[in-house]
Structure 1
Amino acid sequence: MQTITRVAELRRTLAKSRGADQRVGLVPTMGYLHDGHMALIAASQAQCDVTVVSIFVNPTQFGPNEDLSSYPRDFLRDEGLCRDGGVAILFAPETQEVYTSHFETFVEPGDLAKPLCGVFRPGHFRGVATVVCKLFNMVQPDVAFFGQKDFQQCAVVRRMVIDLNLPIEMVTVPTVREQDGLAMSSRNRYLSKEERQRALAINRGLSAALDEFRSGERNVEKLIAVAKRHLEAVDRLQYLELVDSDTLKTADSPLRRPAALCAAAYVGSTRLIDNVLLGLRTR
């Protein structure tokens, strides 16, 4: 595995792979890797000849009172996990390599960035879209791999790929969970033992709604109510919404299109997000 910090060196190295007609996969991360990231790496390994993992804690997607300075970092551990996972290139640029001193050009996403997390984290998806677009231009992958846990992020990036005619296939990998059902997240390390137990309420609520959906329930309000009954253990429920999978607009009742039940909640001082997909049966 090669660890590269400069864009110029990255491009020179990948030019050899493209010259050999090799398929390049990109797994963009902010580091502190867990099994969810490893699932993305495994998916890339299965579909591509060369896997690139980027590690970059992107400052432009953090708000002024968010956890940029304390976001978990362990580069040596991440490097070892990437090596063990068969990654060909670990791209770990410094901030000044990504955002030069006079940087002023951003990607401004549209309506998909406005609901859900967009309401509570203004500017977040502007930062996400910008850094992902930059990584796409730096790596120029054939395929990019993202996790379903960040459902809205996937929707925003997919729209950007279409709207900007980026020649990249985007693959979404199902959410990976701990044995107890908690969605894998780098921020899980913030939770105390007691908070972690209460955090399980998020998945319990979403799973209960999914079970009701599978049993035939199609009323949006009832599905949300089923999930909400399980969420009393969290300290603050930021949102619990059932949205159309394509538009992220509030889903119409009765459900006739694929939808996603999305939640964001604080347990202690830790903000957690999760979702389940409600795909409709074909008859």
Structure 2
Amino acid sequence: MQTITTVAELRRALSNARRASKRIGFVPTMGYLHDGHLALVEASRAQSDVTVLSIFVNPTQFGPNEDLSTYPRDFTRDERLCRDADVAIVFAPDAGEVYPPQFETFVEPGDLAKPLCGAFRPGHFRGVATVVCKLFNMVQPDVAFFGQKDFQQCAVVRHMARDLDLPIAIVTVPTVREADGLAMSSRNRYLSEEERRRARAISRGLFAAADKCRSGERDVEKLLAIAKGHLNEIDRLQYLELVDYDTLKAAESPLLRPAALCAAAYVGSTRLIDNVILA
């Protein structure tokens, strides 16, 4: 495994793979890896010849009062996990490599970035789209892998790749969960034992609504009410919405198209997001 910190070195390292027509898979992360990230690596190794994993805590997707400075980091551990998972290249640029002096060009996503998290984190998806576009150009992969937990991010990235004619297949990998149902997230480490127990209410609510949908319930308001009925233990619900899978517009009753039931909630001071797909 190679650990690389500059774009020039990365391109040199991948040049032989390209000459040999090897398929390059890419897993973009902000580090502090967990089994959810490793599932992306596993998917990449199954679908490509060379796997590149990036570790970069992207400052442009954090708001002024968010956790950029305290976001969990453990690069030594991340390297070990990548080596054990047979990652070929860890790309770990610093902020100056990604955003050089006088950087001023951003990717501005459209309507997909406005609802859900976009309504509460202004500028977040502008930062996401910009850094992902830059990483795509740096790595130039054939296929890139993202986790379904970040449902809206996946939608924004898919449409960006399509709209900008980026020759990259975008693969969404199902959410990996803890044994108790909590969606794996680097931010779970912020939770105390008591908060962790209460955080399980989020997935319980989503699963309950999904079960009802599979049993034939197609009324949007009833499905939302079922999910919300399990959320009494959280401290603050930021949103709970049922949206069309493709457009992210509010789903309508009766539910006839694939949709996503999405939630963002605070348990203690930790913001958690989760979703389930209803088909």
What TM-score results when the alignment is normalised by the length of structure 1? 0.98
Correspondence 1:147 to 2:147: yes
Question: What is the CA–CA distance in structure 1 between the aligned matches of 2:201 and 2:69, rounded to whole Å?
Answer: 28
Q: Which residue matches 1:14?
A: 14
CA-CA distance at 1:101 after TM superposition: 1.3
Q: Which residue matches 1:209?
A: 209
Q: Which residue matches 2:250?
A: 250
CA-CA distance at 1:15 after TM superposition: 0.9
- Corresponding letter in the other structure for 2:17: S
CA-CA distance at 1:195 after TM superposition: 0.2
Which structure 2 residues correspond to residues 90-109 of structure 1 after superposition, within 5 A?
90-109=90-109
Correspondence 1:38 to 2:35: no
Number of paired residues? 279
- Corresponding letter in the other structure for 1:71: Y
Question: What is the CA–CA distance in structure 2 between the aligned matches of 1:10 and 1:76, rounded to whole Å?
Answer: 20
SS in 2 for 1:65: coil
- Corresponding letter in the other structure for 2:256: R
Identity %: 80
- Corresponding letter in the other structure for 2:78: D
Question: What is the CA–CA distance in structure 2 between the aligned matches of 1:94 and 1:16, rounded to whole Å?
Answer: 25
Q: Which residue matches 1:3?
A: 3
Question: What is the CA–CA distance in structure 1 between the aligned matches of 2:118 and 2:169, rounded to whole Å?
Answer: 25
CA-CA distance at 1:55 after TM superposition: 0.1
SS in 2 for 1:106: coil
CA-CA distance at 1:44 after TM superposition: 0.3
CA-CA distance at 1:106 after TM superposition: 0.1
Which structure 2 residues correspond to residues 52-201 of structure 1 after superposition, within 5 A?
52-201=52-201
SS in 2 for 1:233: coil
- Corresponding letter in the other structure for 1:203: S
Consecutive unaligned residues in structure 2, runs of 5 or more: none
Moved over 6 A (4+): none
Question: What is the CA–CA distance in structure 2 between the aligned matches of 1:143 and 1:64, rounded to whole Å?
Answer: 33
SS in 2 for 1:176: coil
Question: What is the CA–CA distance in structure 2 between the aligned matches of 1:107 and 1:164, rounded to whole Å?
Answer: 10
- Corresponding letter in the other structure for 1:112: L
Q: Deviations over 1:208-232 (max 9, x none)?
A: 0000001100000000000000001
Q: Deviations over 1:82-111 (max 9, x none)?
A: 000000000000100000110000000000
Q: Deviations over 1:51-77 (max 9, x none)?
A: 000000000000000000000000000
Consecutive unaligned residues in structure 1, runs of 5 or more: none
Computed over aligned residues only, the root mean square deviation of the Cα atoms, in angstroms, reads 0.3
SS in 2 for 1:231: coil
- Corresponding letter in the other structure for 1:180: D
- Corresponding letter in the other structure for 2:176: V
What TM-score results when the alignment is normalised by the length of structure 2? 1.00
- Corresponding letter in the other structure for 1:117: C
Question: What is the CA–CA distance in structure 1 between the aligned matches of 2:176 and 2:29, rounded to whole Å?
Answer: 15
Correspondence 1:24 to 2:24: yes
- Corresponding letter in the other structure for 2:169: E
SS in 2 for 1:10: helix
Which structure 2 residues correspond to residues 199-238 of structure 1 after superposition, within 5 A?
199-238=199-238
SS in 2 for 1:232: coil
Q: Which residue matches 2:49?
A: 49
Question: What is the CA–CA distance in structure 2 between the aligned matches of 1:137 and 1:16, rounded to whole Å?
Answer: 17
Q: Deviations over 1:231-257 (max 9, x none)?
A: 011000000000000000000111010
Question: What is the CA–CA distance in structure 1 between the aligned matches of 2:9 and 2:188, rounded to whole Å?
Answer: 34
CA-CA distance at 1:145 after TM superposition: 0.1
- Corresponding letter in the other structure for 2:42: A
